[in-house]
Structure 1
């Protein structure tokens, strides 16, 4: 059989298209969708991180609090500019740890959704803070929406944390 260059080129093009289509179809069906058990394990890890966050705050332990943040984290408190990166977060939050005793900090998690190496959680929180030099204890209630990012070691850290108060402190 004699084939022209044009026929060979068309045959080669069809072969390449077929191979590419096969690759993409195979990869689409073999993508690793996490099992329910894997998702449950991620959610449990995130819940555990939330417990560590509350424990560090209630203990006044800034160093154990800041290690829960992604190096590129963004903290978005009410009525203040956002803090971007660990240096800014440290600069804006550490003075609060030095000036106040925190107590009764508790976070309720209404929802956690995991999307690969990112997750979000949301819910209400409450805490009390008392000036270390003396003064009235202030009680806060509010809500939060946090985005977390999975680290190379498999741990989860706060990537973006946005929160506000339900009203003035009581």
Structure 2
């Protein structure tokens, strides 16, 4: 039951067991978001997702859940799915990791915009490296709100000639909570 005019305290219950488990309280949802981020930075363990439950004391149960993601894990899973699609030669499946209005800055080509243009560019790349094995290595990343960046290297092995290079992706969090690349630039290490 909600109480009119009362101060609302929102609680954050840290979901990990052990000495780091505990409850944290604040008086506004805005402060709660910052508190949840701080709790994650202080208490999350590397490569693990931390679930925070948000409690409203005027409700009989939790009214929502806030899941703080491990961005490194998100990007590693993203790259694994993307590489699998690339290695199958499936440009449409690769495009699913990108926004509808993606901007692609591919080497030796004009800038393109949109998923259709992305698919055409990538199908051409896949046709050239048919049978090659594509892999990415995460070098650096960052996240602020609904935007993230990813810097990495890529290689296409078992193709003649093999290829290696680097890339920068700018990702946007989608309404469903997933991340998709909005801007991608890559180029080869070849002179």
TM-score using structure 1 length: 0.70
CA contact (8 A) 1:45 1:155 kept: no
Task: Confirm or deny that 1:139 pairs with 2:162.
Answer: yes
Per mean C-alpha deviation after superposition, the further-off stretch among 31-40 and 72-81 is 31-40
The unaligned stretches of length 5 or more in structure 2 are: 1-26, 42-49, 51-66
Note if 1:55 corresponds to 2:84: yes
User: Which ranges in structure 1 are unaligned for 5 or more consecutive residues?
Assistant: 1-25, 131-136
Q: Does 1:90 align with 2:91?
A: no
Larger relative contact order (C-alpha < 8 A, sep ≥ 6)? 1
CA distance in 1, matches of 2:163, 2:129: 14
Which residue is 1:45 aligned to? 74
Structure 2 distance, partners of 1:99, 1:78, is 14
The partner residue of 1:73 within 79, 102, 126 is 102
Q: Which has the higher helix share?
A: 1
Largest Rg, 1 or 2: 1
TM-score (norm 2): 0.63
Match of 1:107 among 125, 133, 136: 136
| CA spacing shift, 1:104–1:76, aligned 2, 3 Å | same
Of the candidates 75, 96, 118, which is equivalent to residue 147 of structure 2? 118
Q: CA RMSD in A?
A: 2.4
Q: CA deviation at 1:111?
A: 0.9
